[in-house]
Amino acid sequence: MNSPEAKIEVEARGGPGRTMRAAVYRGQGRVVVEEVPVPEIGPGEALVRVSACGICGTDIKKIEHGFIAPPLILGHEVAGTIVAVGEGVGKRKPGDRVVSFHHLPCGQCFYCQRRLFSQCSRYKTVGLTAGFQPSGGGFAEYVRAMPWIVEGGMVPIPAGVSFEEATFVEPLNTCMKAVEKARVAAGEQVAVLGQGPIGMLLLMLSRHLGAEAVTSDPLPARRAASLRFGAAASFAPDDPGLREEVQRRTEGRGADAVLVAAAHPSLVGQALALARAGGRVLLFAHNDPVMRVELGVAAVGIEEKEILGSYSAAVDRQEEAARLVFERILPVREMITHRLPLAEMTEALALAARPRGGSMKVVVLP
């Protein structure tokens, strides 16, 4: 497995016929901008012209570490315009501006009945593709939405809201689910470890719910951004001031909830140390299938601290996530620092994987 410094290469290829440009994952650390067929749609389906697609940390992990088999076209924070619909589609029409989710639960199974939507077997079946094995497809000019996505996985974008802003609906939904699972409430003291795009959304949502938040990040620019977006204080991860500030704000108890938005194994132990007895630790970024973490079990078995996980979005939070973005209740568009075309996927992926110069959210504009 490559280190986090693994190189991502992007090349250019061409081809004849009715094709489009796409950034195709061709193996560990390698993405190729090439010509691929425009997806053909069938009954109940829709073809969407992608106008913007955000780069997610899971995209970077899959590419750099080779956790998935090539070829694939990744990208799931998709916003665009429907350009064609298949037979039987009545809910959507060409010209509709939409955010398109890439998977959707059945709503009926054991897991759906318990709101564990991401564990539903149909949820694990991706319904948005630009070709090859369906895997989102937003790093392409067009994507094909399958019938269940057309029916229940598209959110109309209001006039006056940009495609770039709309790409935040899906990641904000995932963060809403996480904050809800961590039971963050008004008046609580929260620590958010990691102030990349996800950590910043977790901060915004915690503040929106009425909690106070202290944050950490190794990058000075991101600590400064965290303060602008509402953090009460922000520290480097190894700064003893982080724990001291949490203790000062809680009469020595510790944080009510600690939200971990960076994947470094050491942060789990730090999160448990920051949490009060009976507090909650929510692991958002620890979705690496091979990572192992050691921790002192007394924090759970004696101090009754909870370790929680949260993965992907919740279908019953789609409307609220869209409202927070579309009504600009949360300043998500201010997080976008770079907008790059497919031809510059090298730079786009590098900025998302190894931020520099104040970079935060990177959006691809196919």
For the stretch 97-113, pLDDT in tens is: 999 999 999 999 999 99
How far apart CA 366 and CA 360 sit, in angstroms, is 19
**pLDDT given for residue 289 in this prediction:** 81
**37 and 150 together in one domain:** yes
What is the average pLDDT across 214-241? Answer: 98
Pairing mode, if any, of strands 46-54 and 77-85? antiparallel
pTM of the model: 0.94
Per-residue pLDDT reduced to its tens digit, 46-69: 999 999 999 999 999 999 988 899
What are the residues facing 213 on neighbouring strands? 190
Do residues 205 and 134 share a domain?
no
Residue 103 in 3-state DSSP?
A: coil
Burial (CB < 10 A; 0-12, 13-18, 19+), residue 187, is exposed
Give whole-number Cα distances, 335 to 54, 331, 338, 339, in Å: 11, 8, 9, 11
| DSSP summary character for residue 66 | T
Residue 323 sits at the vertex; the CA angle it makes with 263 and 114, to the nearest 5 degrees, is 60
Considering the domain architecture, whether residues 283 and 346 belong to the same structural domain is answered as no
Residues spanned by the domain of 252: 183-309
In this prediction, residue 273 has a pLDDT band, given cuts at 50, 70 and 90, of: very high
Task: Kindly state whether residues 354 and 280 are assigned to the same domain.
Answer: no
Number of domains in the chain: 2
CATH code of 133's domain: 3.90.180.10
Same-domain pairing of 111 and 249: no
The answer to whether residues 217 and 234 touch, using CB atoms and an 8 Å cutoff, is yes
Q: Which residue has the tokens 């904000």?
A: 172
Q: Please list the helix, strand and coil fractions of the chain in percent, rounded to the nearest 5, in that order.
A: 30, 25, 45
Looking at the structure, tell me whether residues 72 and 153 fall in a common domain.
yes
> What single letter denotes the amino acid at residue 15?
G
pLDDT at 16: 38
In angstroms, the Cα distances linking 63 to 58, 68, 170, 183 are 9, 8, 20, 33
Q: Does any domain span residue 177?
A: no
Last residue of a domain, one of 275, 291, 309: 309
Write down the pLDDT at residue 67: 84
Residue 287: the pLDDT is 82
For the record, the structure tokens of 281 come out as: 């630790």
Mean pLDDT of 303-331: 97
Q: Which residues contact 54 (CB under 8 A, 6 or more apart)?
A: 77, 167, 168, 171, 197, 361, 362, 363, 364
Residue 49 CA to residue 47 CA, distance in Å, equals 7
